[in-house]
């Protein structure tokens, strides 16, 4: 551009000198300069007009043949045009690729504007929701009127939604998940979870039935083991074997009972709620814990005696009891175990703290998984079934409560059960 400007300046100087010399020869220097200036302006106007005509037709083809600053300006526009077309082509390919990807997946993908009106959808969206071209610009809440979905899609933060029955296909269960992107637009992904839901039901029923069926043979085995152990003339080795068999049968029975309880907690059945005095309930749990401890631990309970929550008594007792009994069973003699009840304007907390062996922080996220045990000793006396904290989590969730775990190795553990008021 600088070279073109220099050439243009030299052109103006040359025209001015020629006009001045020509005007001096005619004894009309000013008139000659004026005529030269007018001719230069006419030439520039014609050049600019050709340039703008080329721009008006979308800069198709090669730019007009020009020199000087206007020629370089046209070349610059031409280069920008080529770069712009290259960028457009890349964007077009990216958009087409994204469309092919969304068309290939089985999940429905729907794009909503900020006002929750439908802007675009893929083929799966048309199949699952029966969308038509006339639905573009229609609010999605006009098509899906379920109150749970309406509350979910109109919320500021999209939490994982529960399954909703399909309005178009009877018996199908759909799961919705949404995320914000761009200028407050929303992408809604809809998955058909009918088969997954059916398999989960089958799994729960199978586990529950198997656990129930285990009770009878375990009871029979326990009876025979007790009969054999009572026979006279048994050797010390036989009595030890019978005792170990009895212990393992008890352990299998506890495992079956825990699985049955966990299956009940995972069911969708609504449980009755009644007022629960936490201090009274925890006092009863503390008495049982003292019997289990046999005086090896110091157990204390603090908190106001009037604090109440509204939930299912069996669930709360199971959750809090599991935590307290675990603290007794998994900590060495001399450990302190304290229970504190506190209340705020929004929630009620039950904090169960011990000064025992503690838990590795890396293991805390997995403690509430089924059959996970941090001590990894399945044959130890305190190993348990590995379902205790899984039962705690499901029981608290069923009551609308949450569980927080804080611990470090060698520094004890703190379990906080948070109940909404």
**How many Cβ atoms are within 10 Å of 65's Cβ, its own excluded?**
8
Does 378 score more than 60 pLDDT? no
For 308-343, how does the pLDDT look when each residue is reduced to its tens digit (9 = 90+)?
A: 998 888 889 989 998 999 899 888 888 999 999 999
CATH number for the region 105-192 comes to: 3.30.450.20
Structure confidence by residue, pLDDT tens digits, 60-115: 777 777 767 777 777 778 778 788 778 878 888 887 787 777 777 788 888 899 88
Task: Return the pLDDT at 4.
Answer: 60
Residue 115 neighbours by CB under 8 Å, 6+ apart:
139
Which range is least confidently modeled, 102-116, 141-155, 186-200, 376-390?
Answer: 376-390
In the 8-state DSSP scheme, what is residue 146? -
pLDDT at position 397 over 60: yes
End-to-end CA, the chain? 73
- Give the pLDDT confidence score for residue 413 in this predicted structure: 92
d(CA 364, CA 372) in angstroms, rounded, equals 11
pLDDT at 178 over 80: yes
- CATH tag, 274-420: 3.30.565.10
CA angle 32, 34, 38 (to 5 degrees): 115
Cα diameter, the chain: 151
| pLDDT at residue 380, rounded to an integer | 44
Structural fold of domain 196-266? Helix Hairpins (1.10.287)
3-state helix, strand, coil in the chain (%, to 5): 55, 15, 30
How many alpha carbons fall within 13 Å on the CB side of residue 328?
Answer: 22
pLDDT of residue 217: 84
CA distance 114 to 258: 48
Residue 389 clears pLDDT 90, i.e. is over it: no
Weakest-pLDDT range from 29-33, 64-68, 138-142, 356-360: 64-68
Q: Give the percent of the chain with pLDDT over 90.
A: 14
Instruction: Determine the pLDDT at residue 324.
Output: 92
Closest CA to 207 of 160, 164, 262: 262
Q: CA 265 to CA 271: how far, in whole Å?
A: 10
The mean pLDDT value of the chain amounts to 81
Q: What is the pLDDT of residue 351?
A: 94
Reported confidence tier of residue 288, pLDDT bands at 50, 70, 90 = very high
- For the residues 357-374, what does the mean pLDDT come to? 81
Domain residue spans in the chain? 2-98, 105-192, 196-266, 274-420
pLDDT of residue 5: 66
User: How confident is residue 377, by pLDDT bands cut at 50, 70 and 90?
Assistant: very low
Q: What is the pLDDT of residue 376?
A: 43
């Amino acid at each position: 551009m600088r070279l073109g400007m220099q050439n243009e300046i030299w052109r103006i100087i040359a025209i001015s000198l020629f006009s001045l010399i020509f005007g001096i020869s005619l004894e009309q220097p000013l008139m000659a300069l004026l005529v030269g200036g007018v001719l230069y302006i006419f030439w520039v106007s014609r050049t600019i007009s050709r340039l703008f005509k080329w721009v008006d037709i979308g800069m198709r083809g090669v730019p007009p043949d020009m020199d000087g600053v206007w020629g370089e300006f046209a070349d610059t526009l031409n280069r920008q045009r080529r770069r712009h077309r290259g960028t457009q082509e890349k964007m077009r390919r990216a958009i087409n690729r994204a469309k092919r990807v969304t068309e290939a997946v089985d999940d429905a993908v729907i794009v909503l504007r900020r006002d929750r009106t439908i802007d675009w959808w893929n083929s799966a969206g048309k199949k699952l929701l029966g969308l038509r071209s006339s639905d573009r610009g229609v609010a999605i809440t006009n098509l899906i009127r379920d109150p749970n979905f309406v509350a979910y899609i109109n919320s500021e933060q999209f939490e994982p939604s529960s399954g909703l029955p399909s309005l178009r296909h009877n018996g199908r269960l759909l799961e919705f998940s949404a995320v914000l992107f761009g200028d407050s637009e929303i992408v809604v992904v809809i998955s058909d979870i009918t088969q997954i839901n059916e398999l989960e039901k089958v799994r729960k029923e199978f586990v529950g039935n198997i656990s129930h069926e285990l009770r009878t043979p375990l009871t029979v085995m326990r009876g025979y083991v007790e009969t054999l152990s009572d026979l006279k003339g048994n050797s010390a080795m036989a009595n030890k074997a019978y005792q170990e068999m009895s212990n393992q049968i008890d352990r299998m029975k506890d495992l079956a009972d825990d699985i049955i309880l966990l299956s009940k907690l995972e069911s969708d059945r609504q449980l009755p709620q009644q007022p629960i005095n936490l201090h009274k309930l925890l006092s009863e749990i503390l008495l049982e814990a003292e019997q289990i401890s046999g005086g090896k631990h110091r157990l204390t309970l603090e908190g106001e005696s009037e604090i109440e929550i509204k939930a299912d008594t069996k669930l709360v007792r199971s959750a809090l009891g599991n935590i307290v009994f675990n603290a007794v069973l998994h900590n060495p003699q001399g450990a302190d175990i304290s229970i504190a009840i506190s209340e705020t304007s929004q929630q009620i907390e039950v904090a169960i703290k011990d000064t025992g062996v503690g838990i590795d922080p890396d293991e805390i996220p997995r403690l509430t998984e089924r059959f996970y045990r941090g001590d990894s000793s399945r044959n130890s006396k305190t190993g348990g079934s590995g379902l205790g904290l899984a039962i705690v989590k499901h029981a608290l969730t069923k009551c609308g409560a949450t569980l927080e775990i804080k611990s470090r190795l060698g520094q004890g553990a703190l379990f906080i059960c948070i109940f909404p008021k």
